[in-house]
């Protein structure tokens, strides 16, 4: 009978280890979070996601990705405008970039006409 008991314990140990491994895959442990950031995170989770920290983290990650994409696109467009401005300066001998209001941008400084 002791042999059966040991086999059952071994099986239970295996099941426990398997359960713990599955839980580790789902869980995330973060330490050293500034107090204010943690409080704000918990407030956001409670208010918007009914305390679901996983969905809160996903939401924040999605916001981060959108912000990163926006900034990358903004830099590309800004570089394009700078190149256009430099091209116009070379062609028109320093007239700069004209805005819709009629002001001219030269080197980032607005000048009235």
Which has more confidence, 15 or 38? Answer: 38
CB 49 within 8 A of CB 59: yes
Confidence of residue 39 (pLDDT cuts 50, 70, 90): very high
Q: Which residue in the block uniquely carries the two structure tokens 């819709």?
A: 100
Out of 42-51, 70-79, 103-112, least confident range? 103-112
Task: Reduce the secondary structure of 70-99 to three states and give it as a string.
Answer: HHHHHHHHHHHHHHHHHHHHHHHCCCCEEC
Q: Which residues contact 4 (CB under 8 A, 6 or more apart)?
A: none
* pLDDT 10s digits, 52-98: 999 999 999 999 999 988 888 887 888 888 888 877 666 555 556 67
Paired residues of 110 in beta bridges: 105
């Amino acid at each position: 009978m002791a042999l059966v008991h040991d086999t059952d314990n071994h099986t239970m140990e295996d099941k426990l280890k398997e359960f713990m491994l599955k839980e580790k895959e789902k869980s995330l442990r973060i330490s050293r979070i500034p107090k204010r950031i943690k409080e704000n995170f918990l407030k956001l989770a409670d208010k918007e996601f009914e305390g679901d920290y996983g969905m809160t983290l996903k939401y924040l990650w999605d916001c981060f990705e959108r912000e990163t994409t926006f900034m990358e696109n903004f830099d590309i467009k800004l570089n394009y405008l700078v190149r256009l401005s430099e091209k116009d300066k070379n062609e028109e001998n320093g007239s700069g970039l004209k805005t819709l209001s009629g002001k001219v941008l030269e080197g980032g400084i607005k000048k009235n006409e």
